[in-house]
Amino acid sequence: MYLSSISNRSLILSLLILASGRLCTAANVEYFSDNGYGNPVSTLQHPASEHYKGVTYVAYSGPHEDPYIAAYDHTAGKWTGPVHAGVNPMGKAPDQVDPGELDNHGRPALIVDRQGYIHLIFGGHGGEAKFGQNDFGTPGKGRQTHIVTKKPGDISAWETLENISPFGTYSQWVKMSNGDLYLFYRHGSHRSDWVYQKSVDDGRTFEHEVSVIKHKSAAGSLIVHDSWYAWFDQGKGNTITASYVYHPCANPGHNAQRNNTYYMLMDCRDGSWTNVQGAKLKMPVTKESADSLTLIQATGKEKSNHGSCHVDAEGNPHIFFRFPGQIRYYRWDGKAWQKASAIGADYSKGSDGDFIVDSPLTVRALLTQNHDGKAEVNWWKTTDGGLNWTKGATLFTMPEVGFQATVLARNAHPDAEMLICAKDPKQEHLYHHMFLVGEKGAISRPTDEASHLGDRLETIKAMPKAHTKAEAKRRKKAGLEDDDT
């Protein structure tokens, strides 16, 4: 009788422990925040995350399209934030339900300097004319803004540094091995140069703008203007790579067309640029010189769009460009550009992401993709220089949503490789869950800690409904949408 009682008590205790464990699991969610807003992240504004001294910092657009930042301590297994870091001048209040009312260009780009201070650039779509003369293009909206934490590694307090041009959009950080910071961006709206500003003192001061890709009226046309979309990153040693596409910007009749694929390289020792064969380039590059010296492929009427570029140990570039329905991989083999190959034809819809070059022939790509009604974060690998690609592990998946990707986190921890956003097409608002994904899936968080919307959903219920798909298509055709879509 006594033994039976002990057995019963043991069984009850075991069930309680098991139930408790289930409750703890149920109390966690895979997202770290629910207040991603609009199109919170992109691979064009980069990087959006960095791992530094055991902590991964992530930045995205939250309510009002303002920059928000969160931090995950890998040792403690604990999230901090998200913190409202600054104010985007292009945000509208109350938060809209119509995606056509958003600008999206002001997404934050994040970098950690040598001293551990965290920097964000955000808020610009070319800058307004009231800020003065734009010597490299045409003004647009917003103001490119630079903020930095008041203490190293502490995301709770920020200050603004008035040390960069306000006429920026598509802000991109490049941090060199010696700690020098380069800030690349388009200096205005569509019809503007791509430039950079350099800092040798951890972003406290910046040198004047240097133009690298030139806008101008297109040869032989009264309405088309030479415009560009570019992506910059550190190359081998003290070099910076640039991969880019051409945008024939028409007025009237503006459209979202992009053409061709291009590549060039900067030597940071003297600021000179060369093409892939090592021929010196006259800067800034024009459409004519780009076609003559830096062209990888003329795509004709087929639309091309930016991807990312990395180099192997020999300094040879490997590049992804996005085409309708697929990502294509290009590789310079030391003598010529290898014919482009598509990655995962059956997984191509919604593809975006980044990749790692392990050797001249071995490359691993981490991509967000849609497949069989699910959004997935998948590894792909080639060991023969891109001739064949094999699907590897799926790190994270959700049904009936779409994922938006960022590039791989700088110095990524294996548990926190990519910041992504999940977008549910059925919902009638523009708030989205944010995830930090790695080899073990998404880093979870207690439900109450991951909830940051408050009563915002109640506030927007009275807002007008979003445009119909037909109206959205009309706006897109008219060039009124986010121009990196």
Q: What is the DSSP letter of 294?
A: I
| Secondary structure of residue 125 in the 3-state scheme | strand
CB distance 202 to 179 below 8 Å:
yes
Token pair of 251 as six digits: 């007025």
Helix (H) or strand (E) holding 3: helix 2-26
User: Which residues partner with 357 through β-bridges?
Assistant: 363
Number of residues in the chain: 485
3-state secondary structure of 8: helix
**β partners of residue 370:** 375
What's phi and psi for 306, nearest 5 deg? -60, 150
SS3 assignment, position 139: coil
Q: Which residues contact 199 (CB under 8 A, 6 or more apart)?
A: 180, 181, 182, 183, 205, 206, 207
Q: From residue 224, how far is each of 249, 251, 297, 305, 327 by CA, in Å?
A: 5, 7, 21, 19, 28
Contact 280, 272 (CB under 8 A): yes
Q: Kindly list the strands in the beta sheet with 78-84, ordered across the sheet, starting from the edge strand earlier in the chain.
A: 49-52, 55-61, 67-73, 78-84
Question: For the chain, what is the radius of gyration of the CA atoms?
Answer: 23
Evaluate whether 390 touches 365 at the Cβ level (below 8 Å).
no
Separation in Å, CA 158 to CA 11, 69, 113, 151, 161? 54, 11, 15, 8, 10
Strand partners, 68: 60, 84
Give the other-Cβ count within 10 Å of 290's Cβ.
23
Segment holding 474, helix H or strand E: helix 469-477
Q: Is 479 helix (H, G, I), strand (E, B) or coil?
A: coil
How many angstroms separate the first and last alpha carbons of the chain?
A: 72
Measured distance CA(364)–CA(353) in Å, rounded: 11
Q: Residue 112 in contact with residue 102, Cβ under 8 Å?
A: no
Please identify every residue annotated as catalytic.
Answer: 105, 170
Closest CA to 89 of 59, 110, 65, 109: 65
